[in-house]
Chain A
Amino acid sequence: MSIGFIIITLGLVVIVAGLIFLIFKVNFGSFGKKPQMKSGDDDPYNLQAEQAVKAIFNDEFREELRNRGRLHFEKIIGENAMFLQQDLQLTTSELNEYMKQEITAKLQEEFAKYEQSIMDAKDLAIQSINKTQDAIEQQRQMLSKQVVEQLAKDKDRLITNFEQNMAQVINHYVLEAIGSQIDLNDQLDFILSNLEANKKAIIEDIVDGA
């Protein structure tokens, strides 16, 4: 737009300068010059003709001619300005189109590069994600295996502890439940029978240990 405006302005300046030159020429050029008297100026016909010419091309007629010329020139200037405006509009539109195409092409090129960069980054990200997923999957499988093994160990340990503790609990319960309920006198036969069964060992230990 700024280039079109400059072109229009320069065109108008050139046209105005041309008009000024024409007006100057009309006023101070051939029209303003007095015709050179020829050798026969003193001729009455010539004088009469000259007077008739002066009568015809008087100041009003000259003014009329100036006005007509001014109007004609204004018309020409207007037409030229219109043409110039059309040219400028056409140039501007072409320029706009050109700029649009250039900018579009440039943008498309940049967008293509940008898209390519994005695609490359995407590929890298996908590769990285895939590697990470593979590593996670391997880690998960390893952890899963470890968890299963640990669970199996814990299960065995818990079962073993449960068996031992349960046996202890039952023993403790039985001892607590019936321990104080059995009178020693009722156990006398059991005690004496055990002593009798181990009599030899007791005697040997006492004799040898004495």
Chain B
Amino acid sequence: MEPKKAREFKLPVSVVTQYDVSKLLLDLENVEDFFLQVKVRRAGNAVNLPAISPQMEDVVRQNDLNLLQASDRERLKFILMTIHTKSPIIHMSFSVSPSQKFLEKIISWMRNNVSEIVILQIGLQPNMGAGFTMRTTNKFFDFSLRQHLNQKRDLLIAELKKRVE
């Protein structure tokens, strides 16, 4: 079951994989470090602003968060940790490495139809030709061209026999 706070949270489509969530947590940790450095810095010492990833910017924008507020940072950290540990993960493999835009379309469908905080784990299987394979917690779906050709093998053999005879 999805946590309530995580369910209310809007996870942007730019955050697709568990790696992206880990990167968000790292960004958030950098922001926390920045504010910690600001508190302990001496007068005249320069403080480096933390670099924020585009995914973090999307998260902040879509959820109306203010990272200057400690409460928002704390809430965001809790939500991200919850997503990182408890959100459903769907493994998908393609014949070639998918583009970010393509993944965003897939994850968009997933979040609209399956779960709002679902994340993907992307794999690469060049021998499948086309299509994709998908593995959820207990099921495996093979929509690859390889599987399609294997299913049609009897038809192929029948055609071969017909040609030979």
Interface residues, chain A, with chain B CB atoms under 8 Å away: 163, 166-167, 170-171, 174-175, 178-180, 182, 184-185, 187-188, 190-192, 194-196, 198-199, 201-203, 205-206, 208-210
Give per-residue flags for B135-160: 1 if the beta carbon is below 8 A from chain A beta carbons, else 0. 01111010101100110010011001
Q: Which residues of B contact A (CB under 8 A)?
A: 1-2, 88, 90, 94-96, 98-99, 102, 105-106, 109-110, 113-115, 118, 126-132, 134, 136-139, 141, 143, 145-146, 149-150, 153, 156-157, 160-161
Using known A-B contacts A184-B94, A191-B143, determine if residue A199 contacts B114 with beta carbons closer than 8 Å: yes
Chain A nearest CB, measured from B13 CB (Å): 14
**Which secondary structure characterizes the binding site on chain B?**
mixed
Q: Is there an interface contact between A206 and B115, defined as CB atoms closer than 8 Å?
A: yes
Can you list the 10 inter-chain pairs with the closest CB atoms, starting with the nearest? A209-B137, A175-B129, A179-B129, A171-B149, A205-B136, A167-B153, A194-B143, A182-B130, A206-B88, A163-B157
In angstroms, Cα B122 to Cα A109, docked, is 107
Write the nearest CB–CB distance from A76 to chain B, whole angstroms: 120
- In the complex, 16 of the A-B residue pairs with CB atoms within 8 angstroms, ordered by the A residue number, are A163-B160, A171-B153, A175-B128, A175-B146, A178-B129, A178-B145, A182-B129, A184-B94, A188-B102, A188-B105, A190-B131, A202-B90, A202-B141, A206-B115, A206-B137, A208-B137
What secondary structure prevails in chain A residues at the interface with B? helix
Q: Is the CB of A174 within 8 A of B149?
A: yes
CB distance B156 to A210 under 8 Å? no
Which chain B residues border A188 with CB–CB below 8 Å? 102, 105-106
Nearest opposing residue in chain A for B132, CB measure: A191
Interchain CA distance A185-B36 in the complex, whole Å: 45
- Which residue in B1, B137, B161 is a CB contact (below 8 Å) of A205? B137
Q: Which residue of A lies closest to B96 (CB)?
A: A184
Tell me, in angstroms, the Cα distance from A128 to B142 when the chains sit together: 71
Count A-B contacts at CB 8 Å. 107
**Measured CA separation A184–B2 after assembly (Å):** 31
Contacts of B95 in A (CB 8 A): 179-180, 182
Q: Is the CB of B127 within 8 A of A175?
A: yes
**Apart from the given pairs A202-B134, A202-B139, 12 other A-B contacts in the complex at a CB distance below 8 Å:** A163-B161, A167-B149, A184-B102, A185-B102, A187-B130, A188-B105, A188-B106, A191-B132, A192-B106, A201-B141, A206-B136, A210-B88
Query: A210 → chain B, closest Cβ, in Å?
Result: 6
Alpha-carbon distance between A184 and B110 when the two chains are bound, in angstroms: 17
A206 touches B114 (CB 8 A): yes
**Minimum C-beta distance from B142 to chain A (A):** 10
Residue of A nearest to B150 (CB): A171
- Chain A residues with CB under 8 Å of B146's CB are 171, 175
Contact present for B105 and A205 (CB under 8 Å): no
Partner of B149, one of A163, A175, A187, A194: A175
A18 to chain B, nearest CB (A): 120
Query: When the two chains form their complex, are residues B129 and A209 in contact, meaning their CB atoms are under 8 A apart?
Result: no
Question: How far, in angstroms, from A166 to B112 measured CA to CA in the complex?
Answer: 43
Provide the bound-state CA to CA distance between A174 and B132, in Å: 16
Cβ-defined contact, A203 with B114, below 8 A? yes
Residue pair A180, B96 in contact (C-beta under 8 Å): yes
- Docked Cα-Cα span, A196 to B141, in Å, equals 13
